[in-house]
Structure 1
């Protein structure tokens, strides 16, 4: 079996562990349904062992970290936390003593969210490209200039090193691991069981334009953005949107850009391409997807998709298709 070890410490972020662990457990369940043996064995470890409390107050039982020495390790992941618990973990002498000897023994190692800073503090990420929570990127890069921090990626693979951005992106990274270890069909089944909106590739930005717009509750365009999302197939040029907003084209362009940080054209294109990825993951034909998201003809859709994501819609569909 492939052993997955989550390294925890007091005050850790519970979802950083529970989300990916649910993915690996879900893969075992999917294998069992077709008469196959489980593939993943999940273990929890901490510097001192015993009961460790998360930031939520929920505690979990762990083994001592030094007990892992000499054992066969598949995946070794250290989870993240808020600043206080994270700083304490980075200074923990037992953690600092154990990690450098364990990472070379693992088939792959890495972190979820800000946990990468613990690895970086030990020099284990020098010269490597990593992902971390958007709120920690600047601090991470300032403290560890020899590490190449990708401020947008959901997760990054660099050889044996796997790192993910904030919290729920650990689920995306775990699904990618399952797809690599087993197959995309198993990963898709797990994603469906977890009721995920879509399996997200690592190169997708951490920043959803729709979520960012929704977060700005005082934006005068919240209702308009909701309408755009529901009518991606319709003509959504500046004249049409300005008319719906009751503004002149010039005034609308200026105010919308100020409110969302993007021009209307770029914002609409991003929403359309995000929706296209979801439809492609369902296996829909390219022409049908292009029509539904308002990026027809299909040649135009393919060109824009390739430019934005670095791969064709057809390739994306094959990589991320979720079987019904």
Structure 2
């Protein structure tokens, strides 16, 4: 019998609880219903024992050590500075990570890997609020400030908090297949499995955060009606405003003109459909861009690559 795939989740005083428990729950769920566990999930910490997380909840841990197959470092704010000062932890990361099948981080855990010299020359993700700081402090790496998670060779890094769950599901898919990952997502009652290329700054989430009624409801409707005309006259009528008043208030609420905002919604939807392998013409019609030529021009202008190349990179096998 082969041994289970060992996963070590590095925690420390003040780390973000969900950075640890989110991925741990995903890997634990992957073991359910199997004759024997596929994963051996271990929370490790600099000294072992109880580790108090950022919200006051303590988790039990093993002392750092061993040779994990997958090594992930949790993020944190209050405790990160002290963890970075632990040379013994950095030394263990330098020893264990290169020998692992893959290693990575959730949220600001990327700072720990970068401080250990393990991210030089790599493209990585971290929480949007820390992207600039990470790039400034460690110029040998490249920060993708937009992605939910990034895979660069054997290095897997995710953005803030809940994106650790998205990345963990992708890791399960790599090990056990899409059906297993989708079953876990369904069991967790997730709204959707989010791909790594999806932006940390979704137009819908930003609108829900910043826009008052009627714009939040309008944007929900827009998401479901991308194939319809979404010009200023139609949107103003839906909102019950004059065109001039609508344009001004919508731009103030979202930070984007209606046309720019609508294009963003359409192109984000197009990325999801491209990853499913749909033909360009069909996608263009479904997202309201009418022709594959128009889709191609807008897509390349926004993402810097042709839709066909994006589909080749991201389409599910």
The alignment status of 1:257 with 2:251, answered yes or no, reads: yes
Larger relative contact order, structure 1 or 2 (CA cutoff 8 Å, min sep 6): 1
Q: Residue 205 of structure 1 aligns to a residue in which SS?
A: coil
Residues 302 and 23 of structure 1, relative CA distance in 2, 3 Å threshold: farther
Q: Residue 61 of structure 1 aligns to a residue in which SS?
A: strand
The alignment status of 1:41 with 2:40, answered yes or no, reads: yes
Aligned mates of 1:198, 1:149 — CA distance in 2: 25
Q: In the TM superposition, what are the counterparts of 1:10-159 in structure 2 within 5 Å? A: 10-29=13-32, 32=34, 37-65=36-64, 67-68=65-66, 71=67, 73-82=68-77, 84-159=78-153
Per-residue deviation, residues 247-277 of structure 1 (Å, max 9, x unmatched): 4545533442332122212322333454566
Which residue of 2 is the match for residue 170 of structure 1? 164
Per-residue deviation, residues 277-299 of structure 1 (Å, max 9, x unmatched): 67888999998876665455688
For normalisation by structure 2, the TM-score amounts to 0.85
The alignment status of 1:209 with 2:212, answered yes or no, reads: no
Question: More deviation in 273-282 or 98-107?
Answer: 273-282
Structure 1 gap ranges (5+): none
The alignment status of 1:194 with 2:188, answered yes or no, reads: yes
Aligned mates of 2:142, 2:150 — CA distance in 1: 11
Q: Residue 25 of structure 2 aligns to a residue in which SS?
A: helix
The alignment status of 1:9 with 2:3, answered yes or no, reads: no
Question: More deviation in 241-250 or 20-29?
Answer: 241-250
Q: 2:316 aligns with which of 314, 319, 323?
A: 319
Deviation of 1:44 (Å): 0.9
Residues 77 and 211 of structure 1, relative CA distance in 2, 3 Å threshold: same
Deviation of 1:185 (Å): 1.5
Residues 126 and 219 of structure 1, relative CA distance in 2, 3 Å threshold: farther
Which residue of 1 is the match for residue 233 of structure 2? 239
Q: Residue 319 of structure 1 aligns to a residue in which SS?
A: coil
Deviation of 1:304 (Å): 6.1
Q: Residue 316 of structure 2 aligns to a residue in which SS?
A: helix
RMSD: 3.0
For normalisation by structure 1, the TM-score amounts to 0.83
Aligned mates of 1:236, 1:160 — CA distance in 2: 43
Aligned mates of 2:271, 2:189 — CA distance in 1: 16
Deviation of 1:129 (Å): 1.0
Aligned mates of 1:161, 1:63 — CA distance in 2: 23
Aligned mates of 1:148, 1:245 — CA distance in 2: 42
Question: More deviation in 147-156 or 255-264?
Answer: 255-264
Aligned mates of 2:108, 2:224 — CA distance in 1: 35
Residues 316 and 160 of structure 1, relative CA distance in 2, 3 Å threshold: closer
Aligned mates of 2:87, 2:45 — CA distance in 1: 12
Which residue of 1 is the match for residue 263 of structure 2? 269
Aligned mates of 1:125, 1:25 — CA distance in 2: 28
Deviation of 1:199 (Å): 1.5
Aligned mates of 1:157, 1:318 — CA distance in 2: 15
